[in-house]
Structures are given as structure tokens and as C-alpha cells.
Structure 1
Amino acid sequence: MIKTIAINKNHECLTNIDIKELIEGDFLWYWVDFDCPADEEIKLLKNPLHFHPLAIEDCINNIQRPKLDYYDDHFFFVAQSINGESLLREEVNIFLGENFIVSFHQEASIEIEKVWNRIIQASNIENWDSIQVLYHVLDEIVDNYFPIVEKIEDVLNDIDENSTRRPMRLLLQDLYDTRHDLLSIRHVISPMRDLVYRIINSERLKEFRPKMEYFTDIHNHLIKLSEMIEENRELTTDIRDSYLSLNAHQTNRIMQVLTVITTIFMPLTFIAGIYGMNFVNMPELEWKYGYIGTLFVMLLIGIGMFIWFKRKGWFK
């Protein structure tokens, strides 16, 4: 589906105008949005829009990282949003010219939709232009990163507190999944930060220099997000180390108890082994109180060793 917005010289917002009329018409600026376009609609990028073949190829391939490319009469931006449910990356391609902006995305974009509705409902449409649209789209994309990162922080807090007393095996699995999610988000945020930094410092975008303070604000948000990602990754490492240390401590305690029990039973097993040989010349075998006496001696040895181990602090 293709949607269009055009602003005429009377600062009136017109919609659903044919692309050829937009190119040939006398408009202050216009915006064309390729929303999940069909193959026939994709061909319009080449004719009549006449964008560079490499940029069109990047739109179709949909495997690009955030970047900025320069062409003769337009700039080409690749941005990435994040699906809040699946955390999958969704590419948003933008062509920017002196009096036009063209967006291309193969998945529905809530960021594009928000900015689109904002323009249609704007009472100050004279303050809008193509670079302003680019800023708002990137700003919406970056703003939508925050709820995703904050949601992951909540998951980490639940894992850290473990108020439901879930088994350690399940907690570690959730922890590793969360760490993987943080890594996936970082692979989006870091290139986006580089993209916005390049926009701010690009000499070829100098005609838009008065608007760069807006992009500086986006860059600051991306820096904050990067710091949040790194802090949460460090937190996952700390939680993982704590759980592994706790698990090792519990294992050591179990081994300690088993060692004490084994050590106590070693002399008892030795005594039982001696009197289990049944040699003829073993006087204790024919003693009337031999069985009771042997049990009493074994009991004393067991109690004595238990008291000795306790005094040594093996049960603390």
C-alpha cells in the first residue's frame, strides 16, 4: 500500500495524490510511504521516483544495518525498530531530498503511523518539512526502545528477587534468555547511535544544520539506552555468578554432610567387617554379650566422632 501527503504553498495538507502528480506538482514538500508494498509498487522507486539502484536493492533485501548513504539528489537512511513482542528487528528505509521524504518498510510500522497521523492532525503544518519528518520518525523509533529495555529490567528484578521460589535451573534459563535479548537489542542500538551521530556531523547535511539539535537529543537518548543495556548485562553477570556461587555452596554443603556420614561409618564398617569373617579362633563370637557389646562400642564410636566433628565446626 502506498500513502502520500503533500503540503502546498498555502500550507494545506493534501493526501492520496498520485506520485507522478507529486513530482510534477508545485508543492513545498511531500511524503510518500510504502507500507508493505507489493512488487508492482516497489517498481515505483525506480520509475518515476528515480532512486539509486543500490538504495532500492537495500530496501528489497531487508538485511541492512542502520546506515546513511549519499547520492546525487537524495540521502538514503536505514533505521531499525524493534518489535516489542518478538524483539525482532524491523527495517525502516527513508529517502530524503530537498522537498520530499519517502519511507519504505515491509512490515507495519507504528512509528510511521504515529508521525503520519500527527502531520494530518497538525495545526502548525507550516513548521513541518522533510527533515522534521525524518527527526520525528527516528525519535519515535528510539522512544519505543525504552519500554522494551525497561520490561527486561523488570524481568531481571524478578529473577534477582525470586519471590516465587522457582528452581535455580529455570531461573538460570530465564537469565540466559534475558542476556540474549539484551545482546539482540544492543545490536540495534549501537548502529542506530552511530547513524544519528553521523547525521549530526555530516557536512553534506549542512543545509539542515539548524535542525541538528533535535537529532542531538535523539543521540543522547541512544547513549542512555546503551548505558542501560550495559548496566543490565553487568547485572545478569552478577546474578549468574551469585546463583552459580550459591549452587556451588549448596553442593559443598551436601558433600560435607556426605563426607561426615561416610567418615563416621568407616570405623563401624571396619568393625563389622572384622567380625563378619567368621574365623574359628575369634573369642568374641562365643562371648555371651559379644553382639550387644560390639553394638555398644560402635555406638560410642559413632557418637564420639559426631561430637568431635561438631566441635571442629563441620556442621556450621
Structure 2
Amino acid sequence: MNTVTSDQWKWYQFDLEEADGIADIIKDYQYPRDEWFCQQLQKENSNHIQVDVIGESELIYGSLIYHKKSFDQKNYDSFHFYITEEFIITAGIDLKILENTNHERMIERMKQAANTAESFFILLGEIMKKHLNGFDQFESHFRELLWEVRHNNNIDVLDDIHKARYDLLIWTNLISSVREVTMGIEEAFHKKINQTIQYQRMCKKIEIGLTLIEQYQKEFDALIKLEEVVSTHRGNEIMKALTLLTAISTPLTAFGALWGMNFKGMPELDWKFGYIYALILIVLSTIAIYLYLRMKGWTGDLLKGRKKNSFFK
């Protein structure tokens, strides 16, 4: 256990295995829900908060997923927190994950905060800063996708678009979780934090994150609609070609039917190489039709055009 002490409050940092120590501190301060909170330490990768009022004292406790190792379902890091007017308890948080944060400076700022809620907002602010930094990498990948759609559009690009859109859902979930905790703290300590600079900074960071998410969602919708239009256009071209080919081949089909009739007076019966000529004609016709379809770009990927930098040609 590590302890950060301020003039008005304390921050107790525990490992997840130290449930007994956490329960003892909660009991020493005569706050409730110590057993329930310790049971929640066994639940990994969960988001939940609870706000209680005990007499004239407010408290909030729960857990927060604050880091994704990868986009696999179980590769997340979460920590548990218990906040009152007198102390903060965190369990399972690894400050090393906040790579771009000066930890000593952050803790010093937390010590200077007027109350526990404002202090915890400083920690949440660093988590939000980490999320916003992650958007820089996401934006770089998204811009590459935009140019791929323009210059090298195919089914693989469409797959990458949907993967990136799924990644955006993960970022949305992470930022929404921070927002939920922020709103819970506001509910519990609203009289003491509404006008504080840390609360206002926290709200602004959340607003930036949600604005970015909304903007990217609109851009993804536009990209997917563009791909749908391209696919529909090429599909219509294929149907048009098949209709034309069917119409053109109708006389040939009729000729073949006549050729197959067994009338006595048929001039082709004496042709020595008649079958060879027929087979050659069939093969050449098939190759010609295939080459025509390939030339039009209808035999492969519907999203891939024949001309570079063109969506429909």
C-alpha cells in the first residue's frame, strides 16, 4: 500500500490482493459497503459506479476501465475506487500506463487540490489525456484509409474501414466510462466542485473526446455510403451487361437449336471437320465474352475500378 497525504485528505493506493487492508480503512473511517466493495475487486474489466449519502457525507465507489492493451475482449486494464470527503482509495491502478504523464507532478497537483473530488479529477484528467493522445494514432490510420479509398479501393479497404469503425466504438466506450464517473462525482459532490478549475478542465476534455467521436462517426458513415454507391453502380452495370449478352446470344441459341435438329436435308452432314469448327467457335466465343467482362472490370472485385483514381470507371 502507498499513501499520499494532503492537509485535508489521504489517498490510499492498494493492489487488488490487499482487500483486507481496504476493508479495514473503510471501517476505520466508519463508512459502509466495505464488504461489497472488496467483493467487487474480484471482478476484472468492469465499469460501474454507485453514489451514496451517509448523513451529511457523500461517497462514490465503483470501477473504471482506463486502458486497452489491444482490441481483444479481455485485454483491458481497470481499477477500483472509493471516494469520500476524507479519503480516496484506489485498487489495481498502474500509473506506469499513463506514459505521457509526469507522475510526481501529478501527485503534487493532487496534494494541492482543495478536496478529494477535485484531486480525483486530476487523475481522471490524465486518463482522458491518454485517450485523446490515442486519437492521434487513430486519426493517422483514418487518413490513410481515406487515400486508399481514393487510389486503391477494393474489398480489403472496405474491411479495414469496418475494423477502424469498430475501433472507434472501443474509444467511445472508454471515454463514455470516464464521463459516467465524472457525472457520478458531480452528483455526489456538486456543491464543492461545480466551480473548480479541475472540474471544468475535465468537462472540456470529455467534450473534446465526444466531439472527435461524433465527427469520425459522420466520416465513417460517409465512407460506407460511398462504398455502397460504388457497389450498386457496378452491380447495375453487370446486370445491364448480362441483359445485353442474353439478348445478343438469343439468335445464336436459336441457330444451335436448328443445328441440332435431325432433318434429312441438312448441308452440314457432309462437313468433315464440322465438330472441330463448332468447338473452336464455342471456345472463341467463350473467351471473347470473358475478355469483354474482364475488360469492363466485372469479373473481380466490385469496388475496384479499371481506371486509377476513379470510383465508377
What is the correspondence of 1:1-316 to structure 2 with a 5 Å cutoff? 2-7=1-6, 28-34=8-14, 36-38=15-17, 41-50=18-27, 52-53=33-34, 54-62=36-44, 64-70=46-52, 72=54, 75-78=59-62, 79-83=64-68, 85-86=70-71, 89-105=76-92, 110-111=97-98, 114=101, 116-119=103-106, 126=112, 130-162=116-148, 168-200=154-186, 202=187, 204-208=189-193, 210-211=195-196, 213-281=197-265
Structure 2: which 5+ residue stretches go unaligned? 279-284, 286-312
Highest Rg: 1 or 2?
Answer: 1
CA distance in 2: counterparts of 1:146 and 1:45, whole angstroms? 32
Residue-pair matches, total: 266
> What is the CA deviation profile of residues 261-286 of structure 1, one whole-angstrom value per residue up to 9, with x for unaligned ones?
3322221332243244252245x669
> What is the CA deviation profile of residues 125-156 of structure 1, one whole-angstrom value per residue up to 9, with x for unaligned ones?
65676344312101011112213334333333
CA gap 1:208/1:112 in 2 versus in 1, 3 angstroms? farther
CA gap 1:112/1:106 in 2 versus in 1, 3 angstroms? same
Q: Report the Cα offset of residue 45 of structure 1.
A: 0.6
> What is the CA deviation profile of residues 32-63 of structure 1, one whole-angstrom value per residue up to 9, with x for unaligned ones?
212x432xx22101114425323333333245
CA RMSD in angstroms, aligned pairs only: 3.8
Do the aligned residues in 1 keep the contact of 2:172 with 2:213 (CA within 8 Å)?
Answer: yes
- Higher RCO structure, 1 or 2 (CA under 8 Å, sep 6+): 2
Do the aligned residues in 2 keep the contact of 1:6 with 1:30 (CA within 8 Å)?
Answer: yes
> What is the CA deviation profile of residues 43-89 of structure 1, one whole-angstrom value per residue up to 9, with x for unaligned ones?
10111442532333333324542535235356234433132644754
Identity %: 17
Structure 1: which 5+ residue stretches go unaligned? 8-26, 296-301, 303-315
CA gap 1:121/1:113 in 2 versus in 1, 3 angstroms? farther
Do the aligned residues in 2 keep the contact of 1:55 with 1:76 (CA within 8 Å)?
Answer: no
What TM-score, normalized to structure 1? 0.67
The one-letter code of the counterpart of 2:11 is: W
The one-letter code of the counterpart of 2:133 is: P
Do the aligned residues in 2 keep the contact of 1:142 with 1:222 (CA within 8 Å)?
Answer: yes
What TM-score, normalized to structure 2? 0.68
